[in-house]
A and B are shown apart, each in its own frame.
Chain A
């Protein structure tokens, strides 16, 4: 402030509010306000409230009291909970691997020189655009126990003698929901990886070919390493969304038969909303967080590696 007074003609100072709004921090704060209010009220606060609810015995229509780890102790002895954890892991691992393999294959096909590339890309993204619940209903009809079109075709060809009970038997039900999930997930993986593939210059593969590399060597030694960073990000998203999936299971099986396809998300809904046990449902949801954190850390290191590869840092 000393140099202000030293000035021969003091410049009239603008009002404090205006000065605040023209400074970086003041204006930044103001601009962040709408988004921050939304996210704090409806994301951060519920996240905290969810963790708190997990420690209470809240039921629908009754405020709960703190019961410590009782919900978790209860879940620890609950075979259905462990079955849902098992199902979630199987569902996530199998579906993610399938989505990755098929998605990468499809991306490689689309990256070849082919006519109507845009048309194919548009068509392939369609399963991802249509609401999951509505496409899952088509699968529900396709997996019908009596009138399944798959059973009918296989019976026509003489492969099977009676309709497959797609959603009625524990293991066929698991494979069926995984198939439906993979169907919906392939477009996202394929189109994202295609965008990554398009950043790899053809000349690298041509140089490898001149050096005598086979197709397989070009794929594993040139394409795959350059694609790894984007694979890490895409697969983190894919794993995250598969792990927390709810819609598909809710439409196709609602967790049945005999809880064989219950995922942690559907079990949490089942216990909390129709069952009324909000505290227990919240505890199941909170139990998903460690897995999600692992996925996010994985993504973080994937991003780091990418930045390093680009030579930005």
Chain B
């Protein structure tokens, strides 16, 4: 990763050749369009979540882009009259536990591949990369059969055990990149001082790769939070569902869409990852680009 680190020079490049008008037309106008289109669905989601029902579809008397008497009715309905809190709790438990499992397994695997370099380490690294490319949509049917046979169908355990299949390849791949950037000399001098491999891993390599661990952790957490097809297939009872599945399958009743409740459900379900994201933007960016670059 060090090789391709962003140059990040703050020189102005050749932008000062541009006239102000040209700059507005070629830079600010398209950028404004992009930002508007990318953010509008969230605005629409948020404004719908707090609109009273009588304004929701009455575009003639109330401007659809604004809300006059914001209400928390939809959110209160979600929290106290549906199983939404249980879905939230399930999603948190599943995401945290599967992320933790994946991280532990990935740290060992990445260290073994990158630094122990056992026979076949390169090949293993390549296989891990290929595993990252196997999509859940071709695995969910056989996994459903396995989950059923093992007897963990319709339980959180089914998700906790299957989510690491897409988390481990990603985290391992990312951590391999981080471990590679740690100088060999540090480990060598520790070996000379009589440290065991375990001490090297816990006292030298892990403290140095904290940013990598944070990147991998929050990214894995987000991936598990977003997961849908496994949760949809392996969970059948309402109280075991995760937020994305619960909102979609339980809040839609017949043909009457309660848009207020649906949008509050979507909004509340997005908040945890968005808050996490707002604290760790740079880590997200580095894990996203790191996975692509390495």
User: Is B209 in contact with chain A by the CB < 8 A criterion?
Assistant: no
Interface centre among B48, B111, B274, B293 (most CB of A within 10 A): B293
B14 at the interface (CB under 8 A from A): yes
Is B284 in the interface zone, CB < 8 Å from A?
yes
Partner of A234, one of B161, B259, B292: B292
Given contacts A126-B42, A147-B57, contact A43 B118 (CB under 8 A): no
Asked if A177 is at the interface of the complex by the 8 Å CB criterion, the answer is no
- The interface size bin for chain B is 35 or more
Partner of B269, one of A33, A38, A131, A187: A131
A195-B41 contact in complex given A31-B109, A134-B247, C-beta closer than 8 Å: no
Residues of chain A in range 101-129 having any CB-CB distance to chain B below 8 Å: 102, 105-106, 109-110, 112-114, 118, 120-127, 129
1/0 per residue B127-158: CB within 8 Å of A? 01011011111111111111000000000000
Question: Is A199 touching B284 in the complex (CB atoms < 8 A)?
Answer: no
**What string of 1s and 0s marks CB contacts (under 8 Å) between A152-195 and chain B?**
10000000000000000000000000000001001110011001
Which of B30, B232, B274 is within 8 Å of A126, CB to CB? B274
Q: Cβ of A255 < 8 Å from any Cβ of B?
A: no
Contact of A42 among B44, B130, B143, B228 (CB under 8 A): B143
**CB closest chain-A residue, reference B59:** A152
Contact A129 B168 (CB under 8 A): no
Interface residue SS majority, chain B: helix
The interface residues of chain A lying within 8 Å CB-to-CB of B145 are 49, 53, 58, 278
Stretch from A8-16, A70-78, A90-98, A200-208 at the B interface: A200-208
Cα(A53)–Cα(B144), bound, Å:
12
Docked-complex contact A39 and B108, CB < 8 angstroms: no
Chain A 130-162 near chain B by CB (<8 Å), digits 1 or 0: 111111011101101011010010000000000
Q: What's the nearest-Cβ distance from chain B to residue A211, in Å? A: 13
B195 located at the interface, meaning its Cβ lies under 8 Å from any Cβ of chain A in the complex: no
Is A212 among interface residues, defined by CB-CB distance under 8 A? no
Q: Shortest Cβ distance from A87 into chain B, in angstroms?
A: 14
Asked if B25 is an interface residue, CB under 8 A from chain A, the answer is no
Evaluate contact between B118 and A28: CB separation under 8 angstroms: yes
- B137 CB, min distance to chain A CBs, angstroms: 4
A58 to B141: give the CA distance in the assembly, Å.
Answer: 11
- A127 and B44 alpha carbons, distance in the complex (Å): 13
Report yes or no: A113 in contact with B292, Cβ–Cβ below 8 A.
no
A25-B118, A124-B38 are contacts. A282–B141 as well, Cβ < 8 Å?
yes
A3 part of interface (Cβ distance < 8 Å): no
Whether A135 pairs with B266 at a CB distance below 8 angstroms is yes
Contact mask B260-294 → A, CB, 8 Å, 1/0?
A: 00110111011001100110010011001100110
| Interface flags, A23-36, vs B, CB<8A=1, else 0 | 01101110111111
- B24-53 interface (Cβ within 8 A of A): 27, 30-31, 34-35, 37-39, 41-42, 44-45, 48
Query: Known: A106-B34, A246-B137, A286-B138. Contact between A39 and B165, CB under 8 A?
Result: yes
Whether the pair B117, A28 counts as a contact (CB closer than 8 A) is yes
* Sample of 14 A–B contacts (CB below 8 Å): A24-B117, A27-B112, A43-B134, A47-B138, A106-B34, A124-B34, A134-B267, A141-B44, A141-B259, A195-B6, A237-B292, A245-B137, A246-B228, A292-B134
Question: Which 6 A-B residue pairings sit nearest by Cβ, starting from the closest?
Answer: A28-B118, A31-B112, A195-B289, A198-B6, A244-B135, A35-B109
